[in-house]
Amino acid sequence: MAEALLSVRGIHTYYGDSYVLQGLSLEQRAGTIVAILGRNGMGKTTLIRSVAGLTPPREGEIHFKGASLRGRPPYAIAQSGIALVPQGRRIFRSLSVRENLLLPTSGLARPGKGRWNLRAVLDEFPQLEERIAHMGGSLSGGEQQMLAVGRALMSNPDLILMDEPSEGLAPKLVKHVGEIMKSMRDHGHAVLLVEQNFALAMSVADYIYVVSAGRFVFEGTPQQLEREPEILDQHLGVARAH
Amino acid sequence: MDRGRLALSLIALAAALALPFVAGPFWTGLATQMYIFGLLALSVDLLLGHAGLFSLTHASFFAVSAYTVAILQVRYAVPTTLAAPAGILAGTLLAAVFGISVRTRGVYFILITIALGYVVWGVAHRWSSFTGGDNGVTNVPFPAIGGVGITSHTQYYYLVLAVILLCALGYRVLIRSPFGLGLRGIKASETRMQSLGYRTSAHLYAAFVLSGALASLAGVLYVYYNRFVNPVASSFPISVEAALMAIVGGSGTIIGPFLGAGVVLGLRNWVSSFFEMHHAIMGAVFIATVLWAPDGLVGIAARLRARFSRPKEPGP
């Protein structure tokens, strides 16, 4: 098996005084979508923040492309090829769509090389081109999500961290977000997705982890998860759909 | 730039060029001061308006540069061609040291810059064998390059005007560059910028030093205008006034700090001629700005413009 792109080994992360991640391990290969499913407050966002270096783990190791991320500040982790699409989009409301997209391409941010540039991102998201001169804050929720993803792509990352991309979006747009993630995978980017939306995660993920109270209680393919009624019921609160 | 703004800029430029002929030496001198302090306010606003850092130590760079020029010219008869660059260099080096303050944020940044400013003021005030103490350094000559020298305040007015126009152009290029965009990103959210791969502390440090260099240039222009420098130049009120000029005029713009400098200096000179407590008037102006016109004069102009142009062209 090829070396994992991202390898999280037994991390323990505290958020302030609370002990959030209690020994999580996961592996992700390049060009795959891995989803972390779990209810609110189970540590999903903290996991994303641990990988991005925003809340570094107190114990355990995170390796990316074979190198340890221990002690590396967020900007260095971003420069190594990890892009973050934060919860609630967090685009720059006071900057234009164009400026939002160009920020990661500055030499100061040391972007990666690859197929994505302003032209390619606008071709992928034609709606953004119509709004190119508008302020980020004037965009709709769906457009903001596209902008956040487009901004992440501009640095040509190997791994995109997506924190609850379905949050606050209409069902039709959630489906669109799923399509976007599959398209990212087709372009060779790995996506680490953190979600509460069961259907979305099941429809896009190659591999799924279920987190509960800071520990993984399941890992496997979506098909395997389908066959675990107890996990679904206890940890995700999903009534069997079909 | 649209036609209206271009026309307005040309009118302003023509007025600035004609001023010494139309108005007397009093107004020409006031305008020179407005340009110099406007440049100081602009340097403060690089941090305040673009990076979101409220520095209260910029009088330090302004004064260290002014003292360097004065001491070199007066005591050591060093020519302008060396003294002026040495002044900018000295102020900028001090900014490179004071730049450690960007390790802090928010109120801590404000407090540490106040403290640093007092250190410089204390040195200027108490180290009298070198700085001349309260009397400062006097008899600074007009600047001269080779055999060609400035001989009048009117000539000096044009020199200052040329320098600030060049600075304004350079500043415009800077804030529109990826570096300037990065600063605005940091002002909006530093964490987000780090997640995009920006080493924000280095970015802010560079901005701090650049801003200090600009304040130092203002210090050079100041000492040749004033013909002397004393500890007042390094004092806390100068740092505060520079920031308030930027806010009153319109923070985050280029013309704003200069307009703000005009308002502050104009009010002081005009009001103080008939009203002793002119500082109270200034205070009232600042409070009114913060309460009702947080975007300063530039913001008021933009609002009026929007009101009058709305019937003709409905916005996008």
- Chain B residue numbers touching A99 (CB-CB < 8 A): 181, 184
- Chain B residue numbers touching A86 (CB-CB < 8 A): 192, 195
Give dist(CA A100, CA B294) in Å, integer. Answer: 25
Q: How far is A186 from chain B (nearest CA, A)?
A: 23
Give dist(CA B193, CA B184) in Å, integer. Answer: 10
Check B181 against A86: CB less than 8 A apart.
Answer: no
Task: Give residue-wise pLDDT tens across range B174-192.
Answer: 999 999 999 999 999 999 9
Check A107 against B178: CB less than 8 A apart.
Answer: yes
- Check: CB of residue A154 under 8 Å from CB of residue A101: yes
Check B184 against A94: CB less than 8 A apart.
Answer: yes
The answer to whether residue B288 is domain-embedded is no
Pairs of CB atoms within 8 A across A/B: 71
Give the nearest partner residue to A108 out of B179, B191, B195, using CB atoms.
B179
In the predicted structure, residue B122 carries a pLDDT above the cut 50 = yes
Give the nearest partner residue to B197 out of A94, A99, A110, using CB atoms.
A110
Give the nearest partner residue to A155 out of B178, B188, B197, using CB atoms.
B197
The residues facing B226 across adjacent strands are none
State which residues form the domain around B206. Answer: 25-235
- What percent of chain B clears pLDDT 70, i.e. is strictly above it? 97
In the predicted structure, residue B111 carries a pLDDT above the cut 90 = yes
| b/e per residue A152-190 (b: at least 16 CB within 10 A) | bbbbbbbbbbbbbbbeebeeebbeebbebbeebbeeebb
- What percent of chain B clears pLDDT 90, i.e. is strictly above it? 75
- Chain A residue numbers touching B182 (CB-CB < 8 A): 103, 106, 108-109
In the predicted structure, residue A143 carries a pLDDT above the cut 50 = yes
> What is the mean pLDDT of the segment spanning B245-266?
94
In the predicted structure, residue B281 carries a pLDDT above the cut 60 = yes
The answer to whether residue B106 is domain-embedded is yes
Class of domain A1-78+194-242: alpha beta
Q: How many domains does chain B have?
A: 1
Of A182-186, B46-50, B79-83, B267-271, the one with minimum mean pLDDT is B267-271
| b/e per residue B67-78 (b: at least 16 CB within 10 A) | bbbbbbbbeeeb
> What is the mean pLDDT of the segment spanning B56-67?
97
User: For an interface test with B, which of A54, A75, A99, A113 has the most B Cβ atoms less than 10 Å from its Cβ?
Assistant: A75
- Chain B residue numbers touching A87 (CB-CB < 8 A): none
The answer to whether residue B268 is domain-embedded is no
- Chain B residue numbers touching A92 (CB-CB < 8 A): 184-185, 188-189, 192
Check B196 against A52: CB less than 8 A apart.
Answer: no
Q: State both tokens at B50.
A: 């673009």
In the predicted structure, residue B48 carries a pLDDT above the cut 90 = yes
- Chain A residue numbers touching B203 (CB-CB < 8 A): 108
The pLDDT confidence band at residue A1, using thresholds 50, 70 and 90, is: very low
In sequence order, the 6+-apart residues with CB closer than 8 A to the CB of A135 are A93, A94, A95, A96, A97
- Report pLDDT for A141: 87
In the predicted structure, residue B316 carries a pLDDT above the cut 70 = no
In the predicted structure, residue A77 carries a pLDDT above the cut 90 = yes
The answer to whether residue B275 is domain-embedded is no
Check A103 against B179: CB less than 8 A apart.
Answer: no
User: For an interface test with B, which of A64, A92, A97, A154 has the most B Cβ atoms less than 10 Å from its Cβ?
Assistant: A92
Q: How far is B270 from chain A (nearest CA, A)?
A: 38
Longest dimension (CA), chain B: 66
Q: Which helix (H) or strand (E) holds A19?
A: strand A18-28
Task: Give residue-wise pLDDT tens across range A28-68.
Answer: 999 999 999 988 888 889 999 999 999 999 999 999 999 99
Q: Domain boundaries in chain A?
A: 1-78+194-242
